[in-house]
Structure 1
Amino acid sequence: MKRQKRDRLERAHSRGYQAGITGRSKEMCPYQMIEARSHWLGGWRKAMEDRAVSVSAAMV
């Protein structure tokens, strides 16, 4: 049971990351359950950080 639950949350994080990299809004989160939504948003935030770092690195 725990492995399946962890996999779903990892998938939510990964999908949030992909959404963030492609520039989608955080309001587009498809998850309603708080735990999955939290992981999706965590991935989205990580992608936003990575985008900001890559943009600032490209400017140097």
Structure 2
Amino acid sequence: MKRQKRDRLERAHSRGYQACLSGRTRELFPYQSLDARSHWLGGWRKAMEDRSVI
């Protein structure tokens, strides 16, 4: 995978994580591409797991 594409997907994951922490629902994902959407949702789910541990 190219670095540029990986960086974009990592950014989508990070933004999903931050969106969850700020209280956004997972239906409000801002991405149209399937790869970016799945990474965003992955970040959102990771934040939910981290919030439940606290």
Q: Classify the TM-score, shorter chain.
A: over 0.9
Q: Which structure would you say has the larger Rg? A: 1
RMSD: 1.1
Q: What residue number does 1:57 align with?
A: none
Q: Percent identity?
A: 78
Query: Unpaired runs of 5+ in structure 1?
Result: 55-60
Aligned length: 54
Which 4+ stretches in 1 moved above 2 angstroms? none
Query: Unpaired runs of 5+ in structure 2?
Result: none
Normalising by structure 1, we get a TM-score of 0.86
Normalising by structure 2, we get a TM-score of 0.95
